[in-house]
């Protein structure tokens, strides 16, 4: 046991950063449930890789465009197939550009549902299923834009701002049994559909003059999980971009 928990659920755990977090947990001996939305094939592949570390793993589908019913469905499956979890990583999100003028109701609802309402109801379900004698930890994957908002991704940034506030609020409400922390990534992976040129163009604006790697994020997640006196904290993994 690594001190990072014993059984974790990672939302959006089939691909990209979620997958890296799931694999890091598995490497530390933690059993992992990956939640996925549309990436069923990738989820199967990630499950196989997780099991190579000798831990238990399952995958559970849930569409966070219907956050309340999806989170109920996910935790029902987790309870039936896996048992109680003591670590929740709220990672799944969408990232679409749009100014105030460009953001219509459906873009607003999509971002608020997937990026904020789903983590809220996932945390509610998580707290309810954790046996009273057990302690647990939640890590929310936020974004530096929540701390230093810049125009261009209005609905996304507002939803992540809510997730930052939620991290601090629920850290108070769920203490001492459950710690709630956040990781705010900077430029780590190009958004789906973009290539490395997207990241290269950003490097000039970053004090560290480079972008980060998925291991920078997984290191921060594992640090927060292992740090038993940290709660309500948000670690910016940005090379200084949030400053
Ligand atoms: N990439 C970066 O450099 C960066 C920078 C700042 C912040 N972040 C944050 O870090 C986290 C991971 O980033 P990423 O780039 O790895 O994200 P990503 O590639 O866009 O992946 C997002 C995940 O969210 C899930 N998802 C999207 N819509 C969903 C829906 N309707 N229902 C259920 N799941 C849904 C996807 O699952 P399926 O594929 O299974 O549908 C996917 O696993 C996000 O919270 C993001 O905001 C990332």
pLDDT tens digits for 10-19? 999 999 999 9
- Structural domain includes residue 1: no
Q: Which atom, in ligand 1's list, is nearest to the CA of 62?
A: 33
Burial of 73 (0-12, 13-18, 19+ CB in 10 A): middle
Has residue 243 been placed in a domain?
no
For residue 38, being part of any structural domain is answered with yes
What phi and psi values does residue 234 have, to the nearest 5 degrees? Answer: -125, 120
Give me the CATH number covering residue 118.
3.40.50.720
At 13-67, the pLDDT tens digits run 999 999 999 999 999 999 999 999 999 999 999 999 999 999 999 999 999 999 9
Position 241 in a domain: no
Determine whether the shortest distance from the Cβ of 185 to ligand 1 is under 6 A.
Answer: yes
Contact 4, 226 (CB under 8 A): yes
Containing domain of residue 71, as a range? 7-235
**Domain annotation covers residue 160:** yes
**pLDDT tens, position by position, for the chain (243 residues)?**
468 889 999 999 999 999 999 999 999 999 999 999 999 999 999 999 999 999 999 999 999 999 999 999 999 999 999 999 999 999 999 999 999 999 999 999 999 999 999 999 999 999 999 999 999 999 999 999 999 999 999 999 999 999 999 999 999 999 999 999 999 999 999 988 888 888 889 999 999 999 999 999 999 999 999 999 999 999 999 999 999
In a domain, 228, yes or no: yes
The pLDDT assigned to 24 comes to 98
Closest CA to 66 of 113, 8, 2, 23: 113
Q: Is the CB of 214 within 6 Å of ligand 1?
A: no
User: How many angstroms is it from 183 CA to the middle of ligand 1?
Assistant: 14
Domains contained in the chain, number: 1
Residue 104 lies in a domain: yes
240 assigned to some structural domain: no
């Amino acid at each position: 046991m690594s001190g990072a928990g014993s059984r974790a659920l990672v939302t959006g755990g089939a691909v990209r950063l979620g997958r890296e977090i799931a694999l890091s947990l598995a490497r530390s001996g933690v059993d992992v449930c990956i939640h996925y939305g549309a990436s069923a094939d990738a989820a199967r592949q990630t499950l196989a890789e997780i099991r190579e570390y000798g831990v238990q793993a399952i995958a559970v589908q849930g569409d966070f465009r219907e956050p309340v019913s999806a989170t109920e469905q996910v935790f029902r499956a987790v309870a039936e197939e896996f048992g109680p979890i003591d670590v929740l990583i709220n990672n799944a999100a969408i990232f679409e550009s749009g100014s105030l003028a460009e953001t219509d109701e459906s873009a607003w609802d999509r971002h608020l549902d997937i990026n904020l309402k789903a983590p809220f109801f996932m945390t509610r379900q998580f707290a309810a299923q954790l046996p009273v004698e057990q302690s647990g930890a939640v890590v929310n994957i936020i974004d530096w834009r929540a701390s230093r908002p810049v125009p261009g991704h209005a609905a996304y940034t507002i939803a992540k701002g809510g997730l930052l506030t939620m991290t601090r609020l629920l850290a108070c409400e769920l203490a001492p049994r459950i710690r709630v922390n956040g990781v705010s990534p900077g430029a780590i992976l190009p958004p789906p559909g973009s290539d490395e040129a997207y990241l290269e163009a950003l490097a000039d604006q970053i004090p560290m003059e480079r972008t980060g790697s998925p291991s920078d994020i997984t290191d921060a997640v594992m640090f927060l999980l292992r740090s038993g006196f940290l709660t309500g904290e948000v670690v910016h993994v940005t090379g200084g971009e949030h400053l």
